[in-house]
């Protein structure tokens, strides 16, 4: 039988990162490709005790159907922490627990985007989000990312030139894949432009807690007096990603529709993972955990940068991140990093080529993304050494 795939999905490719992961399964291969948090930081022992406690003491709550909006005390905790840490507490907003921030992005798109509608994205941007937009037939318009965030003039032109712009998607803090942080001035400008053109902003902030210095960058959502910002967050990077606990905060009318969409999608996020996440977050000091995570990632990024300075050809430019998980490199010279990624596999090192993050994934890119959060110090250094060998061959 020839399955006639829907228009929205027929050209969808799986993330190239998934393909790269196949090579990474070989233990001799060093992967700097993923975006996995450091597994040594997972509070597994505490979660073991909590899972045991809930299943023993609250078996029905842990195992019966739950409500679509999410476990109420967890929603309450999320609202309180957003108010306390991010100054996000707009009246008239609501918060839904989702199965990872990815689900919030997908559901928002399902609820808002008709085929052919425009979504403005930073370019390069997170492929999980851009693929969600593509999967509903969105017309993606890219706005280049500078070291201080997206090009605001370009953004205004995109808002002027395109009809039916449904939202602007941005990761202002420690952006994926570039690691850049949007300046305060630009955050204000992006908000002002959204207001001027009557367009929603989807602010995705999975990395905001991971500032190396501890400095917090004001979210665009914290400036949202008009109710024009949807804010997506996650516990994947500060607790554990396998639990799949994220959230979306947005004007209540939008959350109501997203609840309907989530009910159709997975009914609700599993109860056990919500319960143990909530208990861990309220019985422990998350901010103290985050201090440790920050120190770990600051150290690992420094290890990677030192190795890059030692092993990479001088022509390779890169952006020093202030936090997050990634370092963005540019080899220049018209080098095609997609082709290079295949050569790198021969040297047992994998990375994500820059084209993955572009609106047009067939663009030839000299850029690539490196991750420093997953590998050990030794593997980071050895991985960068191997990459240096690959780069030296093409730049010689």
Among 3, 213, 285, 346, binds a second copy (CB under 8 A): 3
370: β partners: 327
Among 177, 251, 324, 354, binds a second copy (CB under 8 A): 251
Least distance from a second copy to the Cβ atom of residue 242, Å: 4
Among 8, 81, 348, 379, binds a second copy (CB under 8 A): 8
Residues 42-71 close enough to bind a second copy by CB under 8 A = 42, 44-45, 47-49, 51-52, 55-56, 59-60, 62-68
Least distance from a second copy to the Cβ atom of residue 131, Å: 5
**Residue 124: cis peptide before it, omega within 30 degrees of 0:** yes
As a residue count, the chain comes to 396
Residues 200-229 close enough to bind a second copy by CB under 8 A = 200, 226-228
Site string for a second copy, 90-119 (x = CB under 8 A): ---------xx-xx--x---xxxxxx----
Provide the 10 A C-beta neighbour count for residue 65: 8
Among 88, 190, 271, 331, binds a second copy (CB under 8 A): 271
How many whole angstroms separate alpha carbon 145 and alpha carbon 157?
15
Cβ neighbourhood burial of 229 (10 Å; 0-12, 13-18, 19+): buried
For residue 120, what is the enclosing H or E element? strand 118-123
Site string for a second copy, 148-187 (x = CB under 8 A): ------------------x---------------------
How many whole angstroms separate alpha carbon 212 and alpha carbon 291?
9
How many whole angstroms separate alpha carbon 275 and alpha carbon 144?
41
Q: Is 267 in the site for a second copy (CB under 8 A)?
A: yes
Residues 360-379 close enough to bind a second copy by CB under 8 A = none
Q: Is 292 in the site for a second copy (CB under 8 A)?
A: no
Task: Tell me whether residue 27 or residue 334 sits nearer to a second copy (CB atom).
Answer: 27
How many whole angstroms separate alpha carbon 24 and alpha carbon 20?
7
Least distance from a second copy to the Cβ atom of residue 333, Å: 33
Q: Is 261 in the site for a second copy (CB under 8 A)?
A: yes
Least distance from a second copy to the Cβ atom of residue 93, Å: 12
Both structure tokens of 42 = 């997972």
How many whole angstroms separate alpha carbon 297 and alpha carbon 235?
16
Site string for a second copy, 25-44 (x = CB under 8 A): ---------x-xx-x--x-x
Task: Tell me whether residue 254 or residue 390 sits nearer to a second copy (CB atom).
Answer: 254
For residue 289, what is the enclosing H or E element? helix 286-311
How many whole angstroms separate alpha carbon 91 and alpha carbon 227?
9
How many whole angstroms separate alpha carbon 129 and alpha carbon 305?
28
């Amino acid at each position: 039988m020839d399955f006639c795939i829907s228009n929205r999905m027929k050209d969808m490719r799986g993330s190239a990162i998934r393909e790269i992961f196949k090579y990474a399964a070989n233990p001799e291969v060093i992967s700097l490709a993923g975006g996995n948090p450091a597994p040594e930081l997972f509070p597994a022992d505490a979660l073991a005790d909590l899972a045991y406690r809930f299943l023993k003491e609250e078996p029905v709550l842990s195992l019966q159907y739950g409500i679509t909006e999410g476990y109420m005390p967890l929603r309450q905790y999320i609202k309180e922490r957003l108010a306390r840490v991010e100054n996000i507490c707009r009246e008239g907003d609501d918060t839904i627990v989702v199965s990872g921030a990815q689900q919030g992005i997908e559901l928002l798109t399902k609820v808002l985007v008709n085929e052919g509608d425009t979504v403005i994205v930073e370019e390069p941007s997170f492929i999980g989000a851009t693929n969600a937009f593509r999967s509903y037939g969105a017309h993606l318009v890219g706005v280049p990312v500078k070291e201080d965030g997206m090009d605001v003039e370009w953004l205004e032109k995109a808002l002027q030139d395109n009809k039916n712009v449904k939202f602007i998607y941005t990761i202002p803090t420690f952006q994926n894949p570039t690691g850049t942080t949007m300046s305060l001035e630009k955050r204000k400008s992006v908000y002002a432009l959204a207001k001027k053109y009557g367009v929603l902003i989807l602010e995705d902030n999975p990395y905001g807690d991971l500032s190396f210095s501890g400095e917090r960058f004001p979210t665009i959502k914290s400036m949202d007096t008009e109710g024009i910002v949807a804010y997506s967050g996650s516990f994947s990077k500060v607790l554990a990603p396998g639990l799949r606990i994220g959230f979306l905060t947005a004007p209540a009318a939008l959350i109501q529709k997203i609840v309907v969409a989530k009910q159709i999608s997975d009914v609700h996020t599993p109860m056990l993972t919500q319960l143990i996440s909530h208990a861990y977050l309220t019985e422990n000091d998350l901010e103290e955990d985050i201090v440790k995570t920050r120190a770990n990632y600051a150290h690992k990024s420094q290890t990677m940068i030192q190795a890059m300075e030692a092993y990479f050809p001088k022509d390779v430019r890169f952006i020093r991140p202030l936090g997050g998980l990634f370092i963005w490199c540019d080899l220049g010279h018209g080098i095609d990093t997609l082709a290079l990624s295949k050569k790198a596999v021969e040297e047992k090192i994998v990375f994500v080529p820059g084209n993955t993050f572009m609106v047009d994934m067939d663009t030839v890119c000299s850029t690539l993304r490196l991750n420093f959060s997953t590998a050990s110090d030794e593997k980071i250094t050895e991985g960068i050494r191997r990459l240096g060998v690959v780069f030296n061959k093409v730049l010689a």
